[in-house]
Structure 1
């Protein structure tokens, strides 16, 4: 059987030669079933239930103490009338004082308890909980392979069987056959030696660190290692839990604790992703939180440690988790509060599922030099090397060990080049002024849009109801007996009449207010809302690529589209100099609409690239029915997307920007999906042909992650769109539902123009022909840049 066939067979799930603890006879007995779960049930139960009880008791005690003190304050400091504390609270406080006093006095002499760890290792070795748990050391397996090559019999046949036996690849990792044999052998002999200055970094965290615990701390391979297992600092806040962790050679993840251990050259094991990696956990997905984790690299450099990346396949199937409100839960992590909400098996929610192959691969070491004071660039250099090593480790073994051999490692580099700007990490944007500046404009505009329209519609309906009731009573009882509408309704009607009269009289002389748009551009340039927002003009970047190719005498570069390297560089440069000139007869068609047109607004209307364009931005016609909203849109060079407006601007050869998908495209919006409504949109093509415009397909990557939406009743909501009623129900940030999520890279690519001929009376066939060409150009634009700019490089474009 070839290596490729073996790899495919293994990737289907598992080979028949792999161990299956669920089928071992001794584990089917009552004695075996109890011992498989009892230790884990006790440890995880103490962890979950114990901590929850302690926190609950702490909060209750705090409340009782405050209540008692408040009663004294109310009675002028008379302690005789103080509300007494419940006996349970008194007992809790007494035990806490004694315990913390003991811990403070003996903090320098706290001893470990190797017997406890040995017992845990014995139980998990003879009564394993998971279907399979194995630790594979790349270095050990290669040593075994090299020893086999040196055997005399193999040397005799080496010339004849080289192609069959040596199947290792050029990546430095062992081949699929060796990877499968490593699991079949499942070597549990101790391998890690003490005081080797080795730092083992485990990924992913998972929910309750099953890989870190079963295949690390409690695995026989680490028996001789004298490793210190670094755990979350807040676990050491709680009585009993602190002692158990310390007895089992766990230490706090504080910088001081790690430095004290590294000074003694002891081996360390830690989970760099921490609570954040647990928070982003989703069943079946490989997600790690590593892009902002530089501290462990810096400490390793300061003490000259070798860093071993370790990845546990199967961790992603140990629990089910609540996947929503991720941003809010990540905010909780900043206060050292876990943000994972989970359940495992039905009989005991905190126990992981046991029908999992838990396989941890410990990669080859990344040798770091000893640098007492490493600078930021050096730390970043080795951090990038570590991420690359981790990704290579995952990619090389996912075909054998992962349930899905085509799985992608998410967030290892956050799906983005580390050189791309990250506005969320800019220091001046972390201040109060920066926080307000980033949100104020968007909060005002979108708030006016949502609440202003909502209030106006409600007032309109209420006024209509009052007027109808007034007229009806007048018809029945006479005008003298009819109760007039409330003063608020009369004021509303009077204001509407005056406002509409003014607009009717001045409809041909309504002026723009360029200063307002410049203010918006200034704010969004200096206080950008999204993690990254970039507009890339393909035409400009292709000119740069051609110039570079000439300088380097390169002849193998595709000049139709940007190369991946040039596409990445375009984001790194983030060129914001104006590119679109006035009166060049350009029609920019933006996709997708999204929930609230973030790409159209941030990377279009308010972007510096369009500063000199004198572009008219066409928006939904019904937005211009409402007072104030109509004026603000007009001041900022927005106009209604009515046909008469497009014809007016095109007769003047003005640049125009539209969203062809309209309300229907917003209705089809689903988080994480690329969906357009375009197959029935022929009008903009016909008008562009009548005036000979250059038609630019424009696509915004990242728009699909700006909001969460209600995805059901789609047919009904599309029917509402026929009456110009929006059919989308959405929410963004937890703190303000209409604000989009800002942890998004909003990248808009303005494609090369489709130069349309001028046909005064285009036939139906002409329109269909150029409509098909436009759809093809848009698909090409999406397919050529999704690999660089999309969160999912394998995404597909759905066109309705």
Structure 2
């Protein structure tokens, strides 16, 4: 295979965009592990006091992630995220206003490999969420596992991330008229195993926990589709029933995280590597579906609302797909 090298004469702006993406990919794939190693290594150096003091603080601060976290507006406004946004680029598209006196459950689709659209739009201010939806505060849900990593937990909380468990989500939705928006990548880690260019397959058919959550708290459901999310990486073929897919699914059940074998481009060449392709992402926030509060919804009531949600998601996709480079004959499929 011939390697396509990047030209030497690249504008500084594009180089800074690449640096921003490198740190983002590293943060997603290896920063938690690095923080854990650093924590234990420091214990055996003259800087052991850092780990000891942090350990005490960690114990005191243990419940913070499940109680709304600790976001940092300074970090969310960082210029780094503007370079990350412009690398693809990523755009947040508003279709209707959201009432800041209401709470919301955003269903984000598709998960993609590294949920680039969800992170950039809802964990940073680079795409203008506060200006588009004034008074509404987004909280992206992430696997609880990552909030057990020292130092890393503080970093992800600063972006408005909270654990993806019922307790954490309910804590925010219980606050009536507060303008909180829980953002859930509904397909989760398993859906990332099907994330590849041209794929419109969503793991949603039996995903109803977020529907029940919204009904229990009377939070409006908001379908969100991120056009281009699956175009960022290629993935090694892993059809259902294959040996590779079987191994990936077993690891996902054991570890709680999926391990898609993805690849795209590198830093100095465009032929292989772990950096995403420079392809645009358009994250479209749909119209809220009004939900009546029901602390104990029945299975039939949940199924009915789930069906309404899927209909609204399909309508959102069909209305905008040709505008964002999706062929007219492409439709969503659900598994």
Higher mean alpha-carbon deviation, 731-740 vs 698-707, is at: 731-740
Match of 1:671 in 2: 197
Match of 1:594 in 2: 112
> Deviation at 1:444?
2.0
> In structure 2, do the counterparts of structure 1 residues 792 and 538 end up closer, same or farther at CA, with 3 Å as the change threshold?
same
SS of corresponding position for 1:754: coil
**1:44-86 deviations in Å (ceiling 9; x for gaps):** xxxxxxxxxxxxxxxxxxxxxxxxxxxxxxxxxxxxxxxxxxx
Q: Provide the rounded CA distance (Å) in 2 between the counterparts of 1:792 and 1:500.
A: 53
**1:422-468 deviations in Å (ceiling 9; x for gaps):** xxxxxxx9532x134323333223213322234457789xx8xxxxx
**Contact (CA 8 Å) 1:594, 1:666: kept in 2 or not?**
yes
| Higher RCO (Cα < 8 Å, 6 or more apart) | 2
Q: Where has structure 1 moved over 6 Å in runs of 4 or more?
A: 457-460, 492-495
Q: Provide the rounded CA distance (Å) in 1 between the counterparts of 2:300 and 2:218.
A: 17
Question: Please, what TM-score do these two structures have when normalized by structure 1?
Answer: 0.36
**1:327-381 deviations in Å (ceiling 9; x for gaps):** x63x56x69xxxxxxxxxxxxxxxxxxxxxxxxxxxxxxxxxxxxxxxxxxxxxx
**Is the aligned partner of 1:790 residue 2:315?**
no
SS of corresponding position for 1:539: coil
Q: Provide the rounded CA distance (Å) in 2 between the counterparts of 1:490 and 1:456.
A: 15
Match of 2:295 in 1: 760
**Is the aligned partner of 1:693 residue 2:219?**
yes
**Contact (CA 8 Å) 1:689, 1:756: kept in 2 or not?**
yes
**Contact (CA 8 Å) 2:35, 2:151: kept in 1 or not?**
no
> Deviation at 1:583?
4.3
> Deviation at 1:788?
2.1
SS of corresponding position for 2:328: coil
Q: State how 1:265-664 maps to structure 2 within 5 Å.
A: 329=4, 431-432=11-12, 434-455=13-34, 490=44, 498-507=53-62, 511-519=70-78, 522-525=79-82, 528-539=85-96, 580=98, 582-606=100-124, 607-610=127-130, 612=134, 613-653=136-176, 654-664=180-190
Match of 1:57 in 2: none
SS of corresponding position for 2:257: coil
Q: State how 1:88-237 maps to structure 2 within 5 Å.
A: none
> Deviation at 1:602?
2.3
Q: Provide the rounded CA distance (Å) in 1 between the counterparts of 2:196 and 2:18.
A: 24
Q: Provide the rounded CA distance (Å) in 2 between the counterparts of 1:793 and 1:493.
A: 60
> Deviation at 1:734?
2.1
RMSD (Å), alpha carbons: 3.0
Question: Please, what TM-score do these two structures have when normalized by structure 2?
Answer: 0.82
**Contact (CA 8 Å) 1:604, 1:610: kept in 2 or not?**
no
**Contact (CA 8 Å) 2:216, 2:296: kept in 1 or not?**
yes
Q: Provide the rounded CA distance (Å) in 1 between the counterparts of 2:48 and 2:146.
A: 19
Q: Provide the rounded CA distance (Å) in 2 between the counterparts of 1:729 and 1:616.
A: 28
Q: Provide the rounded CA distance (Å) in 2 between the counterparts of 1:609 and 1:651.
A: 23
**Contact (CA 8 Å) 1:691, 1:760: kept in 2 or not?**
yes
Q: Which runs of 5+ in 1 are unaligned?
A: 1-321, 336-428, 464-486, 541-579
Match of 2:267 in 1: 735
Structure whose alpha-carbon radius of gyration is higher: 1
Q: Which runs of 5+ in 2 are unaligned?
A: 239-243
> In structure 2, do the counterparts of structure 1 residues 686 and 496 end up closer, same or farther at CA, with 3 Å as the change threshold?
farther
Q: Could you tell me which of 680, 683, 707 is aligned with 2:209?
A: 683
How many residue pairs align between the two structures?
A: 312
**1:641-690 deviations in Å (ceiling 9; x for gaps):** 11110010100142221211111111222232122111221111101001
**Contact (CA 8 Å) 2:205, 2:334: kept in 1 or not?**
yes
> Deviation at 1:529?
3.0
Q: Could you tell me which of 198, 222, 232 is aligned with 1:706?
A: 232
